[in-house]
Amino acid sequence: MKQPDTKADTVQDRAAQETDCTQDTMSKSAVKISSDLLSNPLCEQDPSFLEMVMAFDTAMKRMDSFNQEKVNQIQKTVIEPLKKFSSVFPSLNMAVKRREQTLQDYKRLQSKVEKYEEKERTGPVLAKLHQAREELRPVKEDFEAKNKQLLEEMPKFYSSRIDYFKPSFESLVRAQVVYYTEMHKIFGDLTAQIDRPGLSDEQRERENEAKLSELRALSIVADD
């Protein structure tokens, strides 16, 4: 019988990584970008810059709260069920071990019976044979029962995972869709407010380069 508990770990890893750690810290570091800028005295100097940074900061903070919601939702609907599913494995493994033990006993007693069966049929041998058979019977039945049970239940359990995880996957997807929809809206609005949305990347790069050239032309800026 294969050892099924390894799969549970990899699944747990994957889901955990999906939700907490990096995505959360990424959201937090995004908020840091805007809030640090907001607290810089540069904003006091220039009111239009302040306005822009404030709008930016608001957007980032809202995104962070949505991220938190998403994380919580995923915790409830993906991580928790996953943990529950994994919790079956220790019991399952124990059951498998016990079957194994019973199998060993069964084999041992079986060989003992066979040993006596092969011997010459004298009185004491027969008595011992009978006793051995008596010992064997319950163990054999025990093993067969355990075996049957595991053969029935394990596949049931294993195949239940598909249906079991369906809601988790749906939930994972939905949570992300909700999050990114919000993100799209928030930053779409922000861009409309502070920028000209229609610019292409090349145009932006050119604008940046133009400003940089302007700076380079100044004498106070050292030439490389």
Residue numbers 165-184 binding other proteins by CB under 8 A:
165-174, 176-178, 180-181, 183-184
Cβ–Cβ < 8 Å for 37, 43: yes
Extract the tokens encoding 77.
């609907």
Question: Which DSSP symbol is given to 36?
Answer: H
20-39 binders of other proteins (CB under 8 A): 22-23, 25-26, 29-30, 32-33, 36-37
Min CB(32)–other proteins separation in Å: 5
Name the residue among 104, 208, 92, 211 with its Cα closest to residue 157: 92
Name the residue among 72, 137, 75, 66 with its Cα closest to residue 105: 137
Q: Does 19 bind other proteins (CB under 8 A)?
A: no
48-67 binders of other proteins (CB under 8 A): 49, 52-53, 56, 59, 63
Name the residue among 90, 85, 34, 44 with its Cα closest to residue 64: 34
Chosen residue from 20, 64, 69, 135 binding other proteins by CB under 8 A: 135
Min CB(126)–other proteins separation in Å: 14
Q: H/E element holding 187?
A: helix 123-194
111-130 binders of other proteins (CB under 8 A): none
Min CB(120)–other proteins separation in Å: 22
Helices and strands of the chain, counted as H and E runs:
7, 0
71-110 binders of other proteins (CB under 8 A): 73, 76-77, 80-81, 84-85, 87-88, 91-92, 94-95, 98-99, 101-102, 105
Secondary structure of residue 41 in the 3-state scheme: coil
Nearer to other proteins, 117 or 155 (CB): 155
